[in-house]
Amino acid sequence: MSKYTLYDYDSSKFPFKETVQNMMDVDQLDMIHEVFEFPEKLEIIKDQNTILHDKFYEEMKKAEFTALYKDFVSNFISDLEIFKNEKILYQTYPSFRIHQPNNIAVGQYHKDSDFGHNTHEMNFWLPFTNAWDTNAVWIGDPDSDDHECMEVDYGQVANFDGANSLHGNKDNLTGKSRLSIDFRIFPLKFYNQQEQEQTETLTQKKKFVIGEYWSEL
């Protein structure tokens, strides 16, 4: 059984690629390393700390991307069968990753629950470029047979259990950059304010509470 579920969405209705191309000022996202190549290998903590990440996060807070993301969560994700009759919270600002050739996107294999995430969170991964082989995210222990490549084309979004299962990436040998967002959905029935106040995010030190890390639809 696969460790992830793929959903197809209408990329003309939710034009992530075009929007992000405009935001980043490039005409081919998977060749963004030709415009700006990371000077060194990324590391954990430092891995979210480059000019391209800053640019994305700055642009992301503007209306165009905020509206698209919220529209996608409200009118695609929350309509999925798995959330039928379920009140959900969504990650206010999605996490942005860039996986450039001969580099990594996230520094080490991990479970999100290692970093203060609640085990009931559900992860969604949405690449703006096709993701396959060594530019994708892999799920499962890399030293075992239990290791699966999350192959996702643009126009698809994957759901996986990132809170509880190991995931990570490899040296990207595909020659193409992968750009993606990932975000988490939290069924409201598991939300406990006191519990959530105890933890915060690793890099931004945001509390995992409604109004900070989480938003209501």
What residues line the site for Fe ion (CB under 5 A)?
Answer: 112, 162
Nearer to Fe ion, 4 or 19 (CB): 4
CB of 180 to Fe ion, least distance (A): 12
CB of 10 to Fe ion, least distance (A): 27
d(CA 196, CA 28): 40
Determine if residue 4 is left, alpha or beta; phi over 0 gives left, psi from -120 to 50 gives alpha, anything else beta: beta
Nearer to Fe ion, 52 or 163 (CB): 163
Nearer to Fe ion, 75 or 108 (CB): 108
Rg (CA), the chain: 16
In terms of C-beta distances under 8 Å and separation of at least 24 residues, what long-range contacts does 71-75 make, across chains too? 71/14, 72/9, 72/14, 72/16, 73/183, 73/185, 73/217, 74/217
d(CA 126, CA 181): 5
Q: H or E segment at 158? A: strand 156-160
Q: Closest residue to Fe ion, Cβ-based?
A: 112
CB of 28 to Fe ion, least distance (A): 27
CB of 115 to Fe ion, least distance (A): 8
Nearer to Fe ion, 19 or 94 (CB): 94
CB half-sphere exposure, 59, CA atoms < 13 A: 17
CB of 200 to Fe ion, least distance (A): 16
Nearer to Fe ion, 11 or 111 (CB): 111
Nearer to Fe ion, 47 or 112 (CB): 112
CB of 85 to Fe ion, least distance (A): 28
Q: 3-state DSSP: the chain helix, strand, coil percent, rounded to 5?
A: 30, 25, 45
CB of 123 to Fe ion, least distance (A): 7
Nearer to Fe ion, 26 or 96 (CB): 96
For 207, residues 6+ apart whose C-beta sits below 8 A from its C-beta are 196, 197, 199, 200, 213
Q: Quick one: tokens of 18?
A: 């075009």
